[in-house]
Structures are given as C-alpha cells and as structure tokens.
Structure 1
C-alpha cells in the first residue's frame, strides 16, 4: 500500500508522538526498542529526517499494531488523521478518510471530520467511481512508458540498420494488431513468456531448455499464423459473399468496349493477387518445414480457376493473345508450384503488352 519511501508529514509526526505517549515511551526509548540508535526518532519528530522507508515505518508501528490486533499499515490508516494526505505505492495521493472508508476502519477522530454529509458523499463517490479510473489510467501510462523505455533502450544497442528496422517493424506490428482486432491481440500479448532472465529465474539448465522450447513454440505458431493470414489474404480476392469485392468477377465483367484504363486497373489487381498467391505458397512451404510435415494443401483448383479466368478475360475483350500453360498436377512439389505462379506473372505481363499494342 505505502511506497518504498515515505515522506515525513506533520500528521505522521503527530501519530508517532501520540502513539508513543499512549504507551509511556520517550522518543529515545522507542528508538532503542525497535533497534535504532536513540537519536533516530527524535530526528524524525524534529523534522530533521525528511523521509523514511516503508520497512522502517512498519517496524516503528508493528508492536503497537499487534497490540490492537492489526498489521502496521492498517494501524497507521486507522489512527492517522482522516484529513491527512496519504501517498500510495502507485504514486497516487488520496485523503486518509477515503482509505478508512474503503477499508472499513475508522479513527476515533473520524466523526470530527468537519465536512457536510453532502460533501462527504461527494468525496467518497469521487474516489469510488472516478478516482479508480484515474488511478488505473496513471498505471497504464506508467506501464506504457516503461515499455517504451525498454524498447528504446534495446534500440540503442542495435549495431545495424537492419536490427533497428526490425524493432521499428515490431512496434508497428503491435500497433496494427491492436488497431485491427484489440480483443484478439490482447489475448496474444497476455501469454506469459518471461518474468525476467530465464536462466536467473529457472537456473541455467532449465532456463536454457525453457528458451529452446519457447523459441520452437513461437516459430511453429508463427509459421501457422502466417499461413493462415496468407490464406485469408488470397481468399479476400475471391470472396463470393454479397457486398464483398471479388477480383475474378471483375475479370469476367469486361468486354471489348471496356476502357483500357479500367483493364489496367483490373490487371494490376490481378498481379497483386498473384503476389498474394506466391506468399501463400511460400508460407505453406515454411509451415511444412517448421512443423516437420508434408504440405497437404490442394492448390490445383486455384491454379485451374486462375487460368480459366485469364482465358475468359482475353476472350471477353477480344484480345489477340494466346498463351500456353500446363496446370500443375496433383502432388506437384511446392517449389514447382512457386515457379508455376511466376509463370502466371509473365502471362499477365504479356496480356498487358497486348492491350497496349491494341490501343495503339
């Protein structure tokens, strides 16, 4: 509750003096009783000492609190003036009467707090309803700053431009993930990986083993997720749901009167689709290697659909252009499929050239 370093206030001094007098102790006696030199407490009461540690505060009040059946922090809250200002360990400062109310422990002077019932309700309402949000927001901002400092610190150790680019890309990816689907990104980043240096936390042998398996899990998950993303990206261009864009529908809905600029736009979209297909194939290859299995995805219907759509496109616009292309067979090696994908790119380039020649 209390921070590691506690400021000595007039209210705290009064509590110390009143408490020791209740137990018939001088400042010198109480100092020695808790194992301090005899001038320790007089220096506090005379304001020569400005701050004490939380540990010392607890030692100071521990026996008094035990006598009342409380812990030291509860004792301080209970017997400190209700109007005193208390700093908490999250750097938030609150009036003590709020802590007393929220903890259900009231000092003997609580009823002497000279504020109206209306004002009391207003203050309690503020600290119960509004203040928690402000406190949580401050915590969030502090944690975000700590995260930023950690990343910037790591960035400062980067020796190459590539290393710096990787960190910049990391931050951008985090931002895009949260902006895209906050709830799902939150689930991902809530997975506990490290609570410090693995070898220091778990020991050298277990720590090294933990890092090895964690890295393996990350690589497997990453390869599967990249494959899933690549698949979804490809499907986004062949989505037949009502109201969604469909590239292949654009390829079909053309004729010889279609404006050449419109045809260029369609073919540009088609080239982008082929790039997505290329990434899909690469992701499938990487996922299969990473997870040590053969690729089981049937790409052949997709290639068939692409080639048929290209031939229909050429026929619809009455373009004098022919191409030869052999559809890959079942169980074709994925490296061969990647080559076949690049062949489609070359065909697309040829179609664009033929359209330009026709226009001239």
Structure 2
C-alpha cells in the first residue's frame, strides 16, 4: 500500500510537471481573418510551438452543430485539449469558432458541409501567411462531419497537405443517417416494439429526404409519408394490447431540419466520389464504441474509397473502448458524455502527433 501511495504521488507530480512543460512549450494567440468575399470574419486561437521555426500545422474542422473554438461538447473542451497537446509537441494548431458562434460572424443554419470545407480552405490560406508555419505541411484535422468537410476541401484544393480524421465521416450522407440512427435506437432504453417502429419510420423518412432533396415538394412528401405511416402504425399498436403508447416521432422538427440547406446537401453527399479525388496522406482514427460514426465501416471506407482513386497513403486506427468524443465509456450513449470524467484519449493524441511529424 505504501508503495502504491508513493507511486500515485509520483504520477501526480509527473502530471503537474508535464502540464507545466506543455504550457511553457507553446504560445496561444487570438487571431481573426476574413473570408475571400469579406462577408464572414473568422475568429479563434492559434497555438504554436516556441522552439520550432518551420512547424507543420493543422486546422481543426468541427463536426455537426455549432461549436466554439474549444470544441466544448458535453462539457469537454476537446479541441483545446487536442491543440494544447499537439502544439506542446511541435505542431501548430488553428481552432476556430464556427460560423455564427463566439466571435465568428455569418449564419450557421444556412451553411452546408461544402461551405464548411471552404471555411477550412480559407483558414489554410490564412496560415500560409503566418511566419514560422511550414506552408507545405498544413493539413486538416476533422471530427465527425468535419472529416467529410476535410475530404471535400482536399478534393477541391492542393492547399491541403494531409488529412487527420477523428471519428470522421467517410460514408455517404444517406447511409450514415441510416446507420447512425439504427445504432442510437438499438442502443437506447426503448422497448423492442418501439425500436422496431423507430427504425421503420426513420428509414422511410430518410429515403424520401434522399429522393426529394432537390425538390420543392420535399416538405409535403415528408408530411404525407409520416401521415400514411401513422395510420398503419396506430392500427398495428392496437393489436399489441398495450395500454399506453410512449412512442413519439418528432415529425415537425425533422421536417424543418430535412428541408433546410444543410440536410438537403448532406443526405446526397457521396463519400466514395469525393474520396476518389483525394490524393494526400490520410490518418483515420475511430473509437470502437462510437454510436455516431460506426468505426469499422468508416475506417474501411477511408481506405477503400481512397484506393479506388489511386491513393494508398491511408493509415487507419481502431481504438477500443472509446466513444465518439474519444472518451472512455461504459454505455457509450449520448446521455453518458457529460458524466465521463476524462480527457481526449492521450493514446489517440500520441498517434496523431507522431504521424503529423512525419509529414
């Protein structure tokens, strides 16, 4: 026991020393710059190693939903943790407030995944003007949907030197919606009957959204699809001899989302065609317990879709026991995120750091 206490104390002292060293090893500066058309002002933090004169750099590309520069999700400032670790180990990192968030202007709700890709390219152009950054070694680090945005950016521009995907999407939008929602439903506390009903109506609505994504009639067709299903489902439920029906499909909010520009673009996003056009090195990491972006299928797609375009410079890593935020988990549901007392996986950070340093 005495040795155990001494070991804990030693580890604590070591941890404090490492954090102090990391804090002293890099600078953190508030930055801002404009989009090419001058309509959006981007704001964020640029962290840079102090002792490296020509450092490689990454731009963090966030996933779905508005996020601040620190990538604060369920109380975890993930992007700040990533930036501090990488910059303490020789890599410059630019992390930004999303459009319409924090000190970045613009409107998030009308933007698409391709718009986010263009924002990432604007950030790279900004970094190319910064002294101490190696212009030929600026890459994108995309989380979740940010992985798709990074791929779109790399397919459009030679300014992207490499891609790091963390739980990044390498599946077409329609397929990812089906898989993500089935994983969430099947991992939920719903009854088996309600899981079946959820998966059925979700699948029907996603299929309609895909088919009519470019049509003005999308809203009316979605509402009709739900109304027709509801009649049949009500009749089905009556046969179950269950007193109360606790199942609810949020039809109003779904239709509102599905008819917006982001969803119309995303549901038609073709990952295979995009990745065929990406010819830069790719590092893709996924947590094995991720319910939002399935690890096995997306890691396979990063490799296979890229190889179809002749790019075999792809490394994939499956990290067991981690969720979508690269945190250790038990149930791994969204509700558990806020209760987890841990930071972004150090193992993942070490893999990313070593890989980027070879670029």
Q: Quickly name the TM-score band, shorter chain normalised.
A: under 0.3
TM-score, normalised relative to structure 2 = 0.23
Q: Could you say which structure has the higher strand fraction?
A: 2
TM-score, normalised relative to structure 1 = 0.23
Q: Could you say which structure has the higher helix fraction?
A: 1
- Higher-RCO chain (CA-CA 8 Å, sequence separation at least 6): 2
